[in-house]
Structure 1
Amino acid sequence: MTARLHAWLLAALLLAAGFGQAQEEAAEPAPLVEVVQPQRMLVRDELVTFGSLRSDESVMLRSEIEGRVARLHFREGEAVKAGTLLVGLDDAIVRAELAQAQANLLLAERSYVRAQNLFQRGASNAQALDEALGQQQAMRASLALAQARLDKTQIRAPFDGVLGLRQVSVGDYLDAGQDIVNLEVLDPLKVEFRVPQKAVSQIHLGQSIEITLDTYAGERFRGEIFALNPRLDEVGRSQAIRAHIANRDQRLKPGQFVKVSVILAERPQALVIPEEAVMPLGDRLWVNLVVDGKVAPREIRTGRRQQGRVEVVEGLDGGESLISAGWQKVTAGMAVRSKPAGATP
């Protein structure tokens, strides 16, 4: 009877111990982790530098001759067409010179006609005829010179553009070469920037660029490279480059400082995951997947990183569930509970 009692007590103790262990296991549920799905998005390889905006064409209009400003035919800041009359200088003296040249030419032409008639009748020699011809040609040249001087009293726009601020007023006496007003072409604009010597081989004509500037935070303006300086700067060992940026609404202004991104390559359907899902172990990178409710580590190879995301070039196909938060407390094969990243547990 005593032996049976001892056996019964031992069985009861073992059963109690097993029940206690089961209670302890039931009190510690599988750890909760956050999971994410890989996404497909555009990823670019970019070379980032800085540059400035320039007018596509820019000129300071100046007078080629001396004279007093008689008329201004423009308003500051207005758009003008090529050939538009902008400034008229006092042309009284030049017109008088033109009239004198016309009269001299008329006289020279009549003298030449008379010399021809005399030569044909034998009443004059060839020398007199040549002198009359030379005088006629000289008077024609004088007339052309007077006409050119008259034309230069009218200053016109050399191309379509937008005028700046004028530097003269009506009545001012201009010296030859004195500034009058600047004329700018604002659409398109030029982007001038430099790249270091080591990146020169990656740049080519027709390559796309994007610029950003503080004035329009978050916006990117796209352009295209159209000129490369074949000579590198000997001091900075860099190459000067120019690109065109469309500016139809004229929101961009010449002289603005911009951040330039030269697009080296684009992958529209690249696979990306959050950076926090990546586990560095030595020189290798891993992620933890959740497969049938259990942890399954997998090695990956990454590419470009941008804005908290990293491109995966090898190791994933896009259909996996990755542990993005909580992977520090799990091990391979461990059962876990999962919830989408950012969701309420």
Structure 2
Amino acid sequence: MNRSVLIAAIILVAIVAYFGLRSVMRGSISTEQPAAEASTRSDVPQALVIEAQSQRHTIRIAAKGRTAPDKSVTLKAGTAGTVVATPVREGTFVKAGTLLCGLDVEARSARVKEAEAARDSARVDYEAAVKLAEKGLTPANREASAKASLDAAEAAVNSAKVELSRTQIRAPFDGVFERRMAEAGDYLSPGGACGLLVDLDPVIVAAEVTEAQAGLLQVGMAAEVVLADGRKFPAKLRFVARTANEQTRTFPIEAELDTGDALVAAGITASMSIPAGETDATLIKPSLLTLSDAGQLGVRHVTENNTVAFAPVRIIDETSEGAWVTGLPDRVRLIAMGQDYLNDGVTIKPVSAEGAGK
């Protein structure tokens, strides 16, 4: 055989053998790859879980508010006149009845004296009419007429004295004369402001709570109040509104502070904590909370058959240790990581993550 033909034949056989071998190898790889993929798909995903157990926990209602006086009133003039006396300095504690603003009394004092003189004259006429009637020297109706004149004169005296008393604006209760609104020489019309009187015994805390919280509160419940400066005082609820604020849909509440001898001003920011009963609750890390597709707050946990499920919860208290929630079984396995990437109903292989949730 020609040498060149032999070489060509050898090369041809080598090429055929090479492509044949590649074809066989491709078939083998193609057969193994679906099997590997099927094997991968058949693997059950793993998830870290922590076990949690419910326990009795005190429900604490937290509310923020401000301190306020027990009573506060703006004292106003009951008649017109010029202010001639302002005997009390601002910030002074006063007893009920203390004069705070005095108006000029000259004309009113004269009217009282005039009315008293007219009353005295009417009394003389009445007494004379009585004596004459007893002797039969005057008609019977003369006595009645004199009595009516005397009564009218007495009423005039009382009216003049009431008008005179209105020139003296006095404290209606014990309290602090917080702010003077009129100075000597000012002219006050009826309703003009003399000053502001506040009663800071006791000091109260006014706050607002949600509808759900208001349903747990009752007058007389004990509370603890922490002021912005760090001071703590015991308190007692004295008012829980049963009508919501139309704008905020919240319910106003008030608590009396037991401040002892401490001085507490009005208008200080205060945080109030009110124990409102006990319930079974579970302590969890806030990071375990998630939202359902419908936007409901809850956690994802593993059921007895190792499937993922969503449980809606309600936070009843938040502490430095975590959030206390209701709505979970007594014992539950919570998904510690990746809860936002696991769908409900997916079967998983739970792996304990002891300590991850604490």
Q: Would the TM-score normalized by the shorter structure come out above 0.5?
A: yes
Distance, in Å, in 2 between the alignment partners of 1:243 and 1:120 is 69
Amino acid corresponding to residue 321 of structure 2 in structure 1: G
Amino acid corresponding to residue 308 of structure 1 in structure 2: E
- What residue is the counterpart of 2:239 in the other structure? 227
Distance 1:238 1:147, change over 3 A: same
Which of residues 58, 78, 82 is equivalent to 1:68?
A: 82
Distance, in Å, in 2 between the alignment partners of 1:283 and 1:251 is 52
- What residue is the counterpart of 2:259 in the other structure? 247
Which of residues 43, 49, 56 is equivalent to 2:70?
A: 56
The answer to whether residue 177 in structure 2 is matched with residue 124 in structure 1 is: no
Amino acid corresponding to residue 245 of structure 2 in structure 1: D
Distance, in Å, in 2 between the alignment partners of 1:310 and 1:239 is 24
The answer to whether residue 196 in structure 2 is matched with residue 182 in structure 1 is: yes
**After superposition, what is the alpha-carbon deviation per residue over 1:188-235, rounded to whole angstroms, capped at 9, x for unaligned?**
112222221222321111112222343x13x33321111222323345
The answer to whether residue 210 in structure 2 is matched with residue 192 in structure 1 is: no
Given that 1:53 and 1:256 are in contact with CA atoms closer than 8 Å, whether structure 2 keeps it comes out as yes
Given that 1:195 and 1:239 are in contact with CA atoms closer than 8 Å, whether structure 2 keeps it comes out as yes
Given that 2:233 and 2:259 are in contact with CA atoms closer than 8 Å, whether structure 1 keeps it comes out as no
Which segments of structure 1 move beyond 6 Å, counting only runs of 4 or more?
327-330
- What residue is the counterpart of 2:319 in the other structure? 306
Distance, in Å, in 1 between the alignment partners of 2:235 and 2:181 is 34
- What residue is the counterpart of 1:264 in the other structure? 276
SS at match of 1:202: coil
Given that 2:181 and 2:196 are in contact with CA atoms closer than 8 Å, whether structure 1 keeps it comes out as no
Which of residues 92, 95, 98 is equivalent to 1:78?
A: 92
Distance 1:264 1:45, change over 3 A: same
Distance 1:230 1:309, change over 3 A: closer
How far did residue 126 of structure 1 move?
A: 1.9
How far did residue 57 of structure 1 move?
A: 0.8
- What residue is the counterpart of 1:142 in the other structure? 156
How far did residue 163 of structure 1 move?
A: 0.9
SS at match of 1:164: strand
Amino acid corresponding to residue 158 of structure 1 in structure 2: P
Given that 1:51 and 1:193 are in contact with CA atoms closer than 8 Å, whether structure 2 keeps it comes out as yes
Distance, in Å, in 2 between the alignment partners of 1:329 and 1:61 is 67
Given that 1:51 and 1:258 are in contact with CA atoms closer than 8 Å, whether structure 2 keeps it comes out as yes
| Normalised TM-score (structure 2) | 0.62
Distance, in Å, in 1 between the alignment partners of 2:238 and 2:90 is 31
**After superposition, what is the alpha-carbon deviation per residue over 1:43-84, rounded to whole angstroms, capped at 9, x for unaligned?**
753112222222101111111011111111101111111111
Given that 2:83 and 2:103 are in contact with CA atoms closer than 8 Å, whether structure 1 keeps it comes out as yes
Given that 2:76 and 2:194 are in contact with CA atoms closer than 8 Å, whether structure 1 keeps it comes out as yes
Amino acid corresponding to residue 222 of structure 2 in structure 1: S
Distance, in Å, in 1 between the alignment partners of 2:354 and 2:225 is 43
**After superposition, what is the alpha-carbon deviation per residue over 1:304-324, rounded to whole angstroms, capped at 9, x for unaligned?**
66223789xx99xxxxxxxxx
The answer to whether residue 120 in structure 2 is matched with residue 99 in structure 1 is: no
Distance, in Å, in 1 between the alignment partners of 2:323 and 2:168 is 63
Distance, in Å, in 1 between the alignment partners of 2:262 and 2:189 is 34
Q: Structure 2: which 5+ runs fail to align? A: 1-56, 286-299, 303-315, 325-329, 332-351
Distance, in Å, in 2 between the alignment partners of 1:258 and 1:192 is 9
Given that 1:163 and 1:181 are in contact with CA atoms closer than 8 Å, whether structure 2 keeps it comes out as yes
Amino acid corresponding to residue 140 of structure 2 in structure 1: A
Distance, in Å, in 2 between the alignment partners of 1:152 and 1:46 is 51
Distance, in Å, in 1 between the alignment partners of 2:77 and 2:259 is 30
Distance 1:76 1:116, change over 3 A: same
Given that 1:188 and 1:248 are in contact with CA atoms closer than 8 Å, whether structure 2 keeps it comes out as no
Distance 1:100 1:137, change over 3 A: same
- What residue is the counterpart of 1:237 in the other structure? 249
How far did residue 156 of structure 1 move?
A: 1.3
Superposition RMSD in Å? 3.5
Which of residues 151, 162, 165 is equivalent to 2:176?
A: 162
| Normalised TM-score (structure 1) | 0.64
Task: State percent identity of aligned pairs.
Answer: 28
SS at match of 1:165: strand
Distance 1:231 1:274, change over 3 A: closer
Distance, in Å, in 1 between the alignment partners of 2:166 and 2:323 is 64
